[in-house]
A and B are shown apart, each in its own frame.
Chain A
Amino acid sequence: MSELSTAVEMAAAVRSREVSARELVDRSLDAIEARDGEIHAFNLVTADAARAAADAVDAKVAAGEDPGPLAGVPIALKDNLCTRGVPTTCSSRILEDWHPPYDATVVAALSGAGAVSVGKTNLDEFAMGSSTENSAFGPTRNPRDPARVPGGSSGGSAAAVAAGYVPLSLGSDTGGSIRQPAALCGVVGVKPTYGLVSRYGLVAFASSLDQIGPFASTVADAALMLEVIAGHDPLDSTSIPEQVPDISAHLGDGVAGLRVGLVRELLGEGIADDVRRRVEQAAEALAAAGAKVDEASVPAAAYGLDAYYLIAPAEASSNLARYDAVRFGLRVDAPTTPEMYDVTRTAGFGDEVKRRIMLGTYALSAGYYDAYYGTAQKVRTLIRRDFDRAYDGFDLLLSPTSPTTAFAFGDKTDDPLTMYLNDVCTIPTNLAGDAAMSVPYGTGDDGLPVGVQVLAPALGEVTMFRAAAVLEASAPTEGTER
């Protein structure tokens, strides 16, 4: 059993009865027990429920029933995904004791596919942040170097895979919250096309940007999980009706003849030299595998950060108005309902959430709407157009995922804008609604993982994963080229 490390291997072994789902979940729980006191990837470990779910998978196998494509595979869920009867906190005091009355569609899909959730992972409060330092329950540490942040906001889910607790986890990505922590922790992270995966049961941050996606230690595992969670859902009105792409079947197709563009605007100022070198190496590897690599330009991408930090807070200020102490979540008692709103929200939200709510409220307020929110929405159109133009000439684009490798705790907490600049390479994809993923590609000068971002047009997942598989196979062996 010790050789089982990927989800593909685990599910096959459970189906062929080489190993039981119960053994796999026990091994996962042991690994968490041994190290998560230090790493703090999890807000909550649901050991009893996990063992019961594993036993149910084993019973299916024993009865000769199909246990599903993820049979017995231990997984972790970002703690902003609703789990019926199981606390879903968003790492916020305001939802600390909330037990959702329903499962997110992705949670039900994974459970139906035989996956076994072992718990809920830490995040920046309401997914607002790039380091997990904004969690109300304390930060997650990077398993590759516990003195560094794991990235964020899905830092717990990235760390859970990087620490080897689980082969797969789910995160959510509004401006890079899957891809950036994947890069910093040295795992694969995928932001699917907007609408490919149902958002029903994902606690909303910025609804026109949010998308759920997988973390995995291999490209094939990420493909397998994405195929399980993708698909139309009548419970999400932004869910697209297209068929789920068959990604796994094409993983080995290679990149011969594909046109790949290095995004000029995302390789310049602000990108660390060691990260840029790895991206250039990745481009060379794709060229060596037969891709036609050239420089691409997405001029408006340079304005993505500014547009995002008006649009996302605007949507957040509206979405987070629902935390009113009336129907669920924290209530701080007060003599009147309006006072109750004030004291509850003031006590329940952390600083970054308050900052974004106020920024968004301001951007939407009378007199400033056109100047801020209206302008940002027009810039969003420019970004969409520039990507369309780039994809006329290229099948895929390539860039860094994050400007640097993992940084130290406290490095970027004094100035919010410094933290926001982490997302400069990932944000344009969310604004465009396209797909992108981060693939580990060697290490930086500090020996910490570097992620290369593969960008694809909407519903370009099959092609995107083909390139990711080539990069995975050609990735520099860590430590040899420092």
Chain B
Amino acid sequence: MPDPHRITRDDVAHVARLARLSLTDEELDRFTGQLAHILDHATGLAALDLGAVEPTTHPYPLSNVLRDDVVGSTLDRDEVLGQAPAAQDGMFRVPPVLGEAP
């Protein structure tokens, strides 16, 4: 492994933003230490010669899986929308996406 720098508090704040999580200062400190510890352990992988090794994304070789193009049953729309926090006129309802009044 090409020696990535140790994960910093700023890195953790950045990935938390990407993952849509808000962390308190205390959480940032704690998670930074814990993630660094876990990633340090993984530096052992650097000892392996992986130059000619292909990555494995999936344990079982399956090619494209297609179904027959026939109409089948689908989930009931009202039952699905019934699980939504808010729904209106057959659609999911959310607050303004861009921060403007609807």
Q: Which residues of A contact B (CB under 8 A)?
A: 98-102, 194-195, 208-209, 234, 237-238, 240, 300, 303, 305-307, 309-310, 317, 321, 324-331, 333-343, 345-346, 349, 354-355, 357-359, 361-362, 365, 367-368, 370-372, 374-382, 384, 415-417, 420, 431-434, 458
Contacts and interface: CB of A to CB of B under 8 A. Distances in A.
A92 to B, nearest CB: 14
A367 B2 CA distance: 11
B64 to A, nearest CB: 9
Interface of B: 1-4, 7, 11-12, 14-16, 18-23, 31, 34-35, 37-39, 41-42, 44-45, 48, 50, 53-60, 62, 65, 67, 75-76, 79-80, 82-86, 92, 94-99
A133 B65 CA distance: 38
B4 A372 contact: yes
- A interface, over-half SS: helix
A340 B86 CA distance: 13
Nearest to B66: A237
Contact of B7 (A306, A309, A362): A362
23 contacts: A102-B75, A195-B62, A238-B58, A240-B60, A300-B48, A305-B41, A306-B42, A309-B42, A326-B92, A335-B96, A338-B97, A341-B20, A342-B20, A361-B19, A362-B35, A370-B2, A371-B2, A374-B55, A377-B55, A378-B48, A378-B53, A381-B53, A417-B34
Instruction: Give the most central of A99, A234, A334, A358: most B CB within 10 Å.
Output: A358
A303 B53 contact: no
B35 A358 contact: yes
Contact of B96 (A325, A330, A337, A379): A337
Contact of A303 (B2, B45, B94): B45
A358 B16 contact: yes
Contacts, number: 180
Contact of A371 (B4, B16, B55, B82): B4
A325 B85 contact: yes
A390 to B, nearest CB: 16
A375 B44 CA distance: 11
A49 B55 CA distance: 47
Contacts of B19: 317, 321, 345, 357-358, 361
Contacts of A342: 20-22
A371 B97 CA distance: 35
A358 B34 CA distance: 11
A317 B84 CA distance: 22
Contacts of A337: 94-97
Contacts of B15: 358, 361-362, 365
Nearest to B78: A101
A368 B4 contact: yes
B94 A340 contact: yes
B67 to A, nearest CB: 6
Given A306-B44, A326-B84, A381-B54, A195 B60 contact: yes
Nearest to B15: A361
A345 B21 contact: yes
A441 to B, nearest CB: 27
A238 B62 contact: yes
Nearest to A365: B15
Which of the listed residues A317, A341, A359 has the most CB atoms from chain B within 10 Å of its own CB? A359
Contacts of A374: 55
B50 A375 contact: yes
Given A208-B59, A381-B55, A432-B59, 5 more contacts: A101-B75, A303-B45, A330-B85, A433-B59, A458-B60
A376 B41 CA distance: 13
B56 A372 contact: no
B97 A327 contact: no
Contacts of A101: 75-76, 79-80, 82-83
Nearest to A209: B59
Contact of A354 (B31, B92, B95): B31
B10 to A, nearest CB: 12
A309 B35 contact: no
Contacts of B55: 374, 377-378, 380-381
B83 A357 contact: no
B1 A371 contact: yes
Q: Which 4 A-B pairs have the closest CB atoms?
A: A433-B59, A377-B55, A331-B85, A380-B56
Contacts of B2: 370-371
B21 to A, nearest CB: 6
* Most chain B CB neighbours (cut-off 10 Å) among A336, A343, A371, A372: A371
Given A309-B42, A335-B95, A355 B83 contact: no
Contacts of B57: 208, 377
B9 to A, nearest CB: 12
Contacts of B12: 358, 362
Contact of A234 (B7, B67, B75): B67
A194 B56 CA distance: 14
Contacts of B85: 325-326, 328-331
